[in-house]
Amino acid sequence: MASYTPGELMVAVAAREIRDGEVVFVGMRLPILAFCLARSTHAPSAIGVFENGTVRDSPAHEFVVTISDGPNIAGALWCTEMRDVMALLQSGRVDLGFLGGAQVDRFGNLNTGYVGPPGRATRLPGSGGGGDIACLARRHVIIMTHERRRFVERVDYVTSPGFGEGGDWRRRVGLPGGGPAAVITTLGLFRFDPATREMVLASTHLGVTVGQVRAQTGWPLACAPEVTETVAPTPAELAVIRRFDPEGFWTRGRP
């Protein structure tokens, strides 16, 4: 039996996507913890950018629920306006952004606009800064719960573009950012084929089979030549995660 929760595993996997010295558009929920973990371990020079206008060169010293909580403001490197941090994206200075959504498709396009047929669709929160991150960050990482209704062959609405129709679509339409580099879910870790730009299963989490992942995916899922088991959080990583989320608010319930 694993000594960690699915949420703690997802945080550890997300943190490993952050490289030392990078500027990271952090986002909400699990990415907050991923930044704290990376900054406390292998990426001590990473800079965290938050949509509310906060820029940090250190993790918050206390538990954070939202990016505007006091602990995320105290000790910040810069507290400014949203337009200033969005300008960092526009000027090409953001290396990595984290995103989530209601739907994702085989080419990494995200939907946070609406689901269902036109005229009878259910409205969702919308883009926020998601579209900007997806278009302008040098790369981005998607974190989602893995359910068949969310992993669809084609999203109902493209709020935040991934690789569009596949192949060189991003270059053809003129998007400067590099697109999605990984998808981290409750079942596994996915990368993207460098030629087709289709999502590829790279590893499954402990106890999860390839068949289970395919059953929760709404298209014929491509797999790496050797699907491995996702590297578990180390004791040191778990200690840091639990220091920043002591009650398990984000990591011990449903991610």
Q: Is residue 51 annotated as part of the catalytic site, yes or no?
A: yes
Write the DSSP assignment of 25-49 as a string of letters. E--SSHHHHHHHHHHHTT-TT-EEE
- The answer to whether 162 and 199 are in contact (CB under 8 A) is no
For residue 166, count CB atoms less than 10 angstroms from its CB and return exposed for 0-12, middle for 13-18, buried for 19 or more. middle
**What tokens does 104 get?**
């994702």
- The answer to whether 170 and 161 are in contact (CB under 8 A) is yes
Q: Please identify which of the residues 51, 153, 165, 229 carries the catalytic annotation.
A: 51
For residue 177, count CB atoms less than 10 angstroms from its CB and return exposed for 0-12, middle for 13-18, buried for 19 or more. buried
Give the CA angle between residues 203, 205, 244 to the nearest 5°.
115
Catalytic residues: 51
